[in-house]
């Protein structure tokens, strides 16, 4: 279930996950929505609100850090903004976490991965040379912790989200 990739960053890009989204019914050409931290491919992808619940290790949510709703995603992909989440056909597709425009993470996507046992997974992150950056007590998905791999690529781990977007799915 291809949902995200890791690749060497191009000039000016940060190291990290590149989330893959499918186009919606009103979307423009996928090339119009290329972004350093996310890619849009034609058709539906095998994750998201239409897919089965994520298994441990699979993406369970993606969140854009942005000062406001990014027109790139609402116009190019056909999403709408509703209650802090981008939606398509009435289903939550991804989140938007408000940050100041001057924030170094503004415009970056965070890929959230499901885990059955967060404590055990965090131990494994440390064992493999990764860093635990901090827990997010306000995450609507449930218990979530942001981590970085040994090269600094950031992502989040979410314990037993139950489905794409956790409670946001309903």
pLDDT computed for residue 3 by the predictor = 53
Per-residue pLDDT tens listing for the chain (170 residues): 445 555 666 777 666 667 777 655 544 444 444 555 666 666 666 667 777 888 898 888 888 888 777 777 777 777 888 877 888 888 888 888 888 888 888 888 888 999 999 999 999 999 999 999 998 877 778 899 999 999 888 899 999 998 888 766 65
* Residue indicated by tokens 């931290």: 37
CA distances from residue 106 to 51, 70, 86, 99, 165 in whole angstroms, order as listed: 28, 11, 16, 6, 21
Provide the 8-state DSSP code for 8. Answer: P
pLDDT computed for residue 26 by the predictor = 45
- Distance, in Å, from the CA atom of 60 to the CA atom of 10, rounded to the nearest integer, reads 26
pLDDT computed for residue 79 by the predictor = 83
Question: Which CATH number belongs to the domain containing residue 8 in this structure?
Answer: 3.10.180.10
Q: What's the number of domains the chain is made of?
A: 1
pLDDT computed for residue 139 by the predictor = 75
Provide the 8-state DSSP code for 51. Answer: S
pLDDT computed for residue 31 by the predictor = 45
Domain, as residue range, for 34? 4-169
């Amino acid at each position: 279930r291809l949902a995200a990739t890791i690749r060497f960053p191009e000039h000016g890009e940060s190291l990290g996950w590149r989330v893959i989204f499918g186009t919606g019914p009103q979307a423009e050409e996928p090339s119009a929505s290329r972004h350093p931290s996310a890619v849009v491919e034609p058709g539906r992808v095998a994750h998201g609100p239409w897919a089965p619940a994520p298994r441990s290790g699979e993406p369970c949510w993606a969140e854009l850090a942005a000062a406001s709703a990014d027109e790139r995603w609402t116009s190019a992909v056909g999403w709408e903004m509703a209650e802090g989440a981008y939606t398509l056909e009435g289903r939550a597709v991804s989140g938007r976490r408000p940050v100041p425009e001057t924030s170094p993470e503004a415009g970056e996507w965070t890929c959230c991965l499901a885990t059955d046992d967060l404590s055990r997974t965090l131990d494994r992150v440390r064992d493999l040379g990764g860093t635990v950056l901090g827990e997010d007590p306000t995450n609507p998905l449930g218990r979530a912790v942001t981590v970085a791999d040994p090269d600094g690529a950031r992502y989040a781990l979410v314990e037993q989200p139950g489905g794409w977007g956790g409670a946001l799915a309903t």
